[in-house]
Every structure is written in structure tokens, then in C-alpha cells.
Amino acid sequence: MKVLILAAGYGTRLYPLVKDTPKALLDINGKSLVNYVLDKIKSFDGLSEVLLVTNNKFYSIFVEWAKAQKNFSCPIKIVNDGTNTPDDRLGSIGDIQFVIKKEAINEDVLVIGSDNLFDYSLDEYILFSKKFKDSVTIGLYDIKNLEEAKNFGVVGIDATKKITSFEEKPANPKSTLISMCCYYLPKATLGLVEVYLTETKKADKAGDYLRWLSEKNNVYGFNFFGKWYDIGSIESYKEAQAKFKN
């Protein structure tokens, strides 16, 4: 299994904090966001490589960061998607496909956003996901606030944990169960990303892909509990600084 960390965004909503610093390297109580991610994956059985995709602007910074992770359990490779500004970014699905193709990936991939900050283990999620060798499994979280749910992909699931509905940033959310940026992509499903991009020409939002996929294939959801922050704004960053203890 490989882990793909998404860190190619420009964090414009966090300016001026991230104008010259990648959002993934913002400090939360003495540790960068991306290092919290590393802590969650370092003990995975069968982890062969960590791939972190970033843009040309921040590539050299992440290369230096990777060199400093000398004691990590497997190789860390930084992949440059070649973009330089928010206007030419590939988008989350575009970056996933870029890495799949460039690195010729032929094994299961856990995709995780570098701006996810959480305090629970990923082990049960991985065990659950491996039951479905031909289906994508996504991380879900009950945000317990309908107003906040409007900013995320809102998900419906049945008793088997299969996704029955997916609405990206709905004006009137049907629930507060949302999709996190945490996706387990079995090897058998990797080719579907290219199919989606060819059909829709939409590379920006992972939620659009998940909705498309759930209408064509079985997609399963795994509920996470505990604390979770999506570090997308200065407000959420300050809240995490004040409240997050891992």
C-alpha cells in the first residue's frame, strides 16, 4: 500500500499565513499538519512508500522537509505537479490522477489531505476498507451542525455503510454526515479516476468524483469519531491551535 498526501493547494483563504509557506507545514502546538498525518500512518503494515504531491512553488520546501524525516518507516517522495499559481492548479482529482500516472502506481492507495487534523487512529478504517477490494471507501465525520455541513460533501449511507447519496456543498443539507479528505482507493479502482476525468473534464473537486463514482459503483463510508479539523481558513487554524491536543 502507498499513501498519497495531497499538498498541492495554495491555501489562499489562509493568506498571509501561507503566502510563502505551504499550508501542510503550518504549526499546530509544536508540530506541522503534515507531520500529524505521518504519525497516523507510520505503523501501517505493508506501507511501501509515502508520496506527497505539491506544486512547483513549494516543491523545494517539501524536498527539504522530506530529507528531515530521517526516522520515518518508509521512503517519502515529493511529486511536483508543475503548477505555479492557484489559477493553473490541477485540483484534487487532477493531482491524484497525475500521481497515479507519473508514478505508475499498481497497488492500493490511501489518499489523505494534508490539512486534515484529527486525533483518532486510522487502523480500523484501513481494516474496514480492505474488505472491499473492488470499491472505494471514504472517511466520514458527523460535524453535527447543518450550517457548517453546507461547506462539505454531505453523505447518506445505508445499514451496510454503502453510500446512497452524495451532495457537494448543498444549500439545504439532509444531514450533518460529511466526507473528509480521506479516501482508500483499492488497486482495482485506480483506473476509474481517468475514466471520470475523460467523461466530465472536472478535475478540481474530489466531491464531484465521489458523487459520480457512487452513482456507478459501490462506495462505502467509514465513520470517524473524536476531534477533526479541516484547516481551510484562518479561523479554523486558530481554533485548532487553541483546542487540538493529540
Is the bond into 16 cis (omega within 30 degrees of 0)?
yes
The span from the CA of 138 to the CA of 111, in Å, is 9
Q: Are strands 27-28 and 31-32 parallel, antiparallel or unpaired?
A: antiparallel
* Predicted confidence pLDDT, tens digits, the chain (246 residues): 999 999 998 877 777 777 778 989 989 989 999 999 999 999 899 999 999 999 999 999 999 999 999 999 899 999 999 999 988 999 999 999 999 999 999 999 999 999 889 999 999 999 999 999 899 999 999 999 999 999 999 999 999 999 999 998 999 999 999 999 999 999 999 999 999 999 998 878 888 999 999 999 999 999 999 999 888 777 888 888 888 876
Quote the pLDDT of residue 10.
Answer: 83
CA distances from 200 to 43, 196, 205, 207, 212 (A): 37, 6, 12, 13, 9
Residue 169 lies in a domain: no
Residue 67 lies in a domain: yes
Residue 128 lies in a domain: yes
Quote the pLDDT of residue 20.
Answer: 79
78-107 b/e with 16+ CB inside 10 Å = b? bbbbebeeeeebbbbbbbbbbbbeebebee
Quote the pLDDT of residue 246.
Answer: 66
Quote the pLDDT of residue 75.
Answer: 95
Confidence (pTM): 0.95
Residue 152 lies in a domain: no
The span from the CA of 116 to the CA of 66, in Å, is 19
**Cβ contacts of 140 within 8 Å, gap of 6 or more:** 155, 157, 177, 178, 179, 180, 221, 222, 223, 224
Residue 145 lies in a domain: no
CA distances from 188 to 135, 200, 203 (A): 8, 21, 20
- Please count the other Cβ atoms lying within 10 Å of the Cβ belonging to residue 33: 24
Residue 105 lies in a domain: yes
Residue 168 lies in a domain: no
- Please count the other Cβ atoms lying within 10 Å of the Cβ belonging to residue 233: 13
Residue 124 lies in a domain: yes
Quote the pLDDT of residue 205.
Answer: 83
CA distances from 97 to 45, 75, 103, 156, 205 (A): 25, 21, 10, 26, 13
- Please count the other Cβ atoms lying within 10 Å of the Cβ belonging to residue 228: 20
| Number of folded domains that form the chain | 1
The set of cell numbers assigned to 230 is 479541516
Instruction: Let me know: does 73 contact 38? Beta carbons within 8 Å.
Output: no
Kindly report the CATH number assigned to the domain that includes residue 119: 3.90.550.10
Domain that holds residue 193: 2-138+181-219+227-243
